Amino acid sequence: MDERKEQKPPAGRRATLPPPSVRLSPVQEAWQRYVRHSLRLCDTCRRVDGSACEDAETLYADYQRIAHAAMDHVAGRAPLPDGQ
């Protein structure tokens, strides 16, 4: 049978995104949204003075909320919110 071969990144580089068939956890997705915004999309966040825009602060707060909910769930202290 013919099997699909994974495309490998050029030598010295690694893939930056998982294959489309892989879904990240909600915590990883929240972190990815924050990092993508602050390192690639937002000129304000990329400045060297360390300032972050309101959107970055909101994305980071969302990441922390999701991560803490997941940790509470793992520790048996609370159920996960809907959709997680």
How does pLDDT run along the chain (84 residues), one tens digit per residue?
Answer: 556 666 665 666 665 666 666 788 899 999 999 999 888 888 888 777 777 888 989 999 999 999 998 888 888 876 666 655
| pTM for the predicted model, two decimal places | 0.63
From 26, 35, 37, select the one nearest 65 (Cα to Cα).
26
Question: For residue 41, what pLDDT is reported?
Answer: 83
**What is the spatial distance between Cα 70 and Cα 84, in angstroms, rounded to a whole number?**
8
Question: For residue 7, what pLDDT is reported?
Answer: 61
From 3, 27, 29, 2, select the one nearest 18 (Cα to Cα).
29
Question: For residue 81, what pLDDT is reported?
Answer: 63
Spatial contact of 69 and 84, defined as CB atoms under 8 Å apart: yes
Question: For residue 51, what pLDDT is reported?
Answer: 79
Collapsing DSSP states into helix, strand and coil, what is residue 74?
Answer: helix
